[in-house]
Amino acid sequence: MDLLTNVIKDYPWGSRTAIAELTGRPASGPEAEMWLGAHPAASSRLTRDGVETTLADAVAADPAGTLGEAVAGRFGGRLPYLMKLIAVDAPLSLQVHPDAEQAADGHARGDANYTDPWHKPELVCALTPFTGLAGFRAPEQSAMLVERLHVNALRPVVAALRDGDVLGALRLLLEWPGSRRELVESVVWAASACHTPDYALIGRLARRYPEDPAVLAPLLMRRHTLAPGEALFLGAGVPHCYLDGFAVEIMACSDNVLRAGLTGKHIDVEELLRITDPAAQPLPVEPVGGAYVPPVPEFLLRRIAPGGGDALPGGLPRIVLCTEGVVNASTADGSEIKLRPGESVFAAASEGPVEIGGDGVAFCAEPHL
């Protein structure tokens, strides 16, 4: 097994405390994500025989040994998953991920939106109460909520929703032809008189993005709140925007994101609308024997609590992350590593069964074949 050093991403929506406190170190600014995996944009690092290398290079040097022949063959010699700690202190961008065919096609034709040819289904498992918007509401419900604002400029949006055209309504907002600031100001003023959480969220979003009509997203989308230990799977085409909380996230090893708004990053409205599925919804995932099993082969996520440690069979590449207490990770050859919160190890497929024990809580990522 190899102790990992992981990259922390300092996106502005991140928390100044969550990851820092978990790992027992100070933060110099917002820390949004810690990446655990072999993605080329931020591969974990490890030391073998006194030489530091990346997990991506270690996998490339011996795909069959690190991944196992079945995983290496199915996923082209790539570690198929990427695990993250995600610390949300301010809302993320409104975004959608492509399916496998869309990702491969976009990358092949050189579309800059597609940094790699892989899809990016993901599962988020809450460590603290975690809130996000994901999937569209029923169009008639959204029409009622938008109409309740009594903003005359939004009548075309209401009409599109009454016709069941939620993508048409979203397009009208994202391609707003007039003064975007004036629209947002009028919406915020109207929403302040509507005393429910969805309207209050409009004001919160507008304080960060005063010229973005996507602040109306809470009226078009469903709100989801996860208690610690609850998980949500988001497949291709599901619009989503995480709002707050701390969680473990696992996804296919891709960084393909199409953004619609609520961000300072690149936005491509036309491409986002093309790949958005207005009927797609997130899927709550209940753990079975401590494992969150999504409907994709790239990954599953295990939560191992005190007393729940068992030997996991060999033949699969695993990353184990400690989130509470002290966790012991050991293999059949007698190697053992004690992990404290925020520490992680990579166990290659060739190392055989991995046993997780101790008085702490661990999350284990592996392929789902």
For 108, other C-beta atoms within 10 Å of its C-beta total 10
Residue from 78, 171, 259, 318 carrying the catalytic annotation: 259
Please state the φ and ψ torsions of residue 115, each to the nearest 5 degrees. -75, -15
Residue 253: partners with Cβ closer than 8 Å, 6 or more residues away: 37, 38, 39, 78, 79, 80, 81, 82, 118, 298
Residue 272: partners with Cβ closer than 8 Å, 6 or more residues away: 95, 96, 258, 259, 260
Pair of tokens at residue 362:
């661990």
Pair of tokens at residue 242:
């995480």
Query: In this structure, which amino acid lies at residue 69?
Result: E
Whether 259 is catalytic is yes
76 by Cβ neighbours in 10 Å (0-12 / 13-18 / 19+) ranks as exposed
For 238, other C-beta atoms within 10 Å of its C-beta total 24
Residue tagged 């502005």 (tokens): 12
Residue tagged 């592996």 (tokens): 366
Residues labelled as active-site residues: 259
